[in-house]
Structure 1
Amino acid sequence: MREETDPAAALPDRRAPGWRNRLLDAWEIGQYLVFRHMPIDLGPRLAAPGIIAYIKRERPWVVERARANLKRHRPSASDEQIEAWVEAFLDNIGRYIGETPSIGRYMKAGRIELPDAERTREIRRRGSLMALCLHTGNWEVMLEGLSAMGMSAACAPIEWETRGQTWIINDLRRRNGLRYLAQDHGGIRAAWRELTEDGLLAIFVDEARHGQLMAPLFGRPPHAEGNLAVAAKLARRSACNIVLSYATRLPGQRFRMTVSDVIELPKEPRGLLDDVAFLNGVIEPVVLEHLEQWFWLDDSF
């Protein structure tokens, strides 16, 4: 359930059973299936204007929070520049929705750059690997990047705002080689097995829950909730290699997938919160650099 302080709490519950929601879910899935067969550039061109108009009309708090967060993080920017970044943020969301059905075709079309591919392959050959993933640009293109480098990742399943959206994302990720972990308490055990059996585990460590940002911390004290803490625990106990992985949007409907060199936790463990603060120090500068392409820009913290 959404928190009372979240303006979205006033929206109809799109996950509730009922014929209206079933029809809306079927409409979303039908659009996805149609868009899958469109030219790569056509989907986002058709989707973005409608998505942007919908957000501005039905969810104005998204725009207001994004504007406020941009001003907070970039206080020296002019009002004109802030508004340009707000529009870029909305455009990124709209394009993401239109692009998603075509994931699986971008690499073949030469739309994804992999500047560190050989280094990443060499890191993967060393053994088990944890990828700290971020919601920047279009993060689904990372699946294509991994596949192009000969890798398959395991990840926890997600629940989106509607059943239709959840079906779409899960179908997309499975078709592009993602292996899902169990969606219960056994999921942590499955993640542990992945890291102790030379697997590749992908964890999205920037996240929001009920409109409240969990990570990055942005000046808040480290906490033991959320995926950043899960990643810290698993990494410390499994002694796996860690990398940061994210995608950024380039002009001309192109993307760059960046994978960092190995990130080493401090050799002398001082506790979970110190590890959380350390990993936050890895992801936060990247998010700040790409705020206008960051999915969680409109969330509260």
Structure 2
Amino acid sequence: MARRLGYAIQNVVFRALLGAMRLLPIETASAAGGWLFRLVGPRLPADRIARSNLARAFPEASQAEIDRIVQEVWDNLGRGAAEYAHLDRIDTHDGNRVELIGEERLLAARDSKAPFIVFSAHMANWEMASLVAAQRGCKLANIYRRASNPGMDRMIQKVRAGFTAELLPKGRAGARGALKVMDEGRPLGLLIDQKFNEGAPIPFFGRPAMTATAPAELALRYRCRVLPVRLERLPGARFRVTVEAPLELPDSGDRKADVETLLHAMNARVEAWVRARPGQWFWVHRRWPKDD
């Protein structure tokens, strides 16, 4: 009963905040969201998780540097939350809001009529990858982690339904759905930087991190394009989306080794993005085992 009441309160607050943010220009809403999260975030347990992660990922960083990065992390998360209210209004074509680099690679994958995989990470506003693809005629089927609050999950699904082909829940059902998507020759979108309890221990910032093997297994099974998409936040609620060259698919004859080789390449790409803009990554979750 207490949990249901708590969820109900969260839903009312979330809806009210989204409604208020939608009344504001996106730049103002984004700035307000950043300010709110910079105020509240440091008081949450996740702040300690972020600081611990950063200290281990960047052992050479000073306390002042970690403080600065953590503040940027909360700012980025708040901005992304507020921008949810404006996602259906963002035009990724004119270059004013979204600077797109490597568009030709996405269009080539779309026009091939073959399945392909787009992978990215929880950086900047991570909905931009799906939004860019959708506005170019190739809505992605996304695997996602359900929100614990069912009401909030329904609201998130409603927003994302406008620019995704379908949302596949993480787990076995999502894996079956991903196979169906690939069999039908459609594109699949993945954020590969989340914590997993299963998978393969692939290095990430020099420490083993359990990494889902499904993206690599699907890529090798279908021998399809695997497009890394880098996301960056720019000043003024603007974004840069870079569709990088497809990853080379290993073909040694040893499927297990090939899966691990491809996963190493994918994690290395994400790590390079995070190192370049550490304040824009989702440091507030436990990406690594507690006792590593």
| TM-score normalised per structure 2 | 0.84
Matched with 1:33 is: 19
Distance 1:269 1:288 in 2: 33
Q: Partner of 1:295: helix, strand, or coil?
A: coil
The structure-2 alpha-carbon separation of the partners of 1:28 and 1:73, relative to structure 1 and needing over 3 Å to count, comes to same
The structure-2 alpha-carbon separation of the partners of 1:73 and 1:184, relative to structure 1 and needing over 3 Å to count, comes to closer
Matched with 1:232 is: 216
1:64 paired to 2:15: no
Distance 1:215 1:290 in 2: 21
Q: What whole-Å deviation, never above 9, does each CA across 1:32-88 have from its counterpart, x for those lacking one? A: 23423431112122222222222222x1x4333323333333334443333222211
Count of residues paired in the alignment: 279
Q: Partner of 2:242: helix, strand, or coil?
A: strand
Pick from 108, 114, 118 the counterpart of residue 104 of structure 2: 118
Instruction: Please tell me the residue identity of whatever aligns with 2:82.
Output: G
Distance 1:200 1:186 in 2: 18
Q: Report matched runs for 1:145-164 at 5 Å.
A: 145-164=132-151
Pick from 74, 92, 102 the counterpart of residue 76 of structure 2: 92
The answer on whether the counterparts of 2:203 and 2:264 sit within 8 Å (CA) in structure 1 is no
Pick from 113, 116, 125 the counterpart of residue 129 of structure 1: 116
Instruction: Give the superposition deviation at 1:148.
Output: 2.9
The answer on whether the counterparts of 1:222 and 1:277 sit within 8 Å (CA) in structure 2 is no
Q: Partner of 1:181: helix, strand, or coil?
A: strand
Residue ranges of structure 2 left out of the alignment (5+ in a row): none
Instruction: Please tell me the residue identity of whatever aligns with 2:249.
Output: L
Q: Partner of 2:250: helix, strand, or coil?
A: coil
Q: Report matched runs for 1:147-226 at 5 Å.
A: 147-181=134-168, 185-208=172-195, 217-221=204-208, 226=211
Identity %: 25
Instruction: Please tell me the residue identity of whatever aligns with 1:23.
Output: I
- Runs of 4+ in structure 1 displaced over 6 angstroms? none
Instruction: Give the superposition deviation at 1:122.
Output: 1.4
> Which moved further from structure 2: 261-270 or 154-163?
154-163
Distance 2:202 2:77 in 1: 19
Q: Partner of 2:161: helix, strand, or coil?
A: helix
Distance 1:75 1:222 in 2: 18
Instruction: Please tell me the residue identity of whatever aligns with 1:70.
Output: L
The structure-2 alpha-carbon separation of the partners of 1:89 and 1:222, relative to structure 1 and needing over 3 Å to count, comes to closer
1:49 paired to 2:35: yes
Instruction: Give the superposition deviation at 1:207.
Output: 0.1
Matched with 1:5 is: none
The answer on whether the counterparts of 2:142 and 2:164 sit within 8 Å (CA) in structure 1 is no
- Structure 1 or 2: larger strand share? 2
Matched with 1:283 is: 270
Distance 2:97 2:122 in 1: 18
Instruction: Please tell me the residue identity of whatever aligns with 1:46.
Output: A
Matched with 2:282 is: 295
Q: Report matched runs for 1:14-29 at 5 Å.
A: 16=3, 18-29=4-15
Distance 1:207 1:278 in 2: 16
The answer on whether the counterparts of 2:250 and 2:261 sit within 8 Å (CA) in structure 1 is no
Instruction: Give the superposition deviation at 1:297.
Output: 4.8
1:248 paired to 2:241: no
Q: What whole-Å deviation, never above 9, does each CA across 1:226-264 have from its counterpart, x for those lacking one? A: 53x111111111211111123110112110111111112
Residue ranges of structure 1 left out of the alignment (5+ in a row): 1-12
Pick from 89, 96, 103 the counterpart of residue 105 of structure 1: 89
Instruction: Please tell me the residue identity of whatever aligns with 2:136.
Output: M
Distance 2:71 2:217 in 1: 38
The alignment's C-alpha RMSD in Å is: 2.7
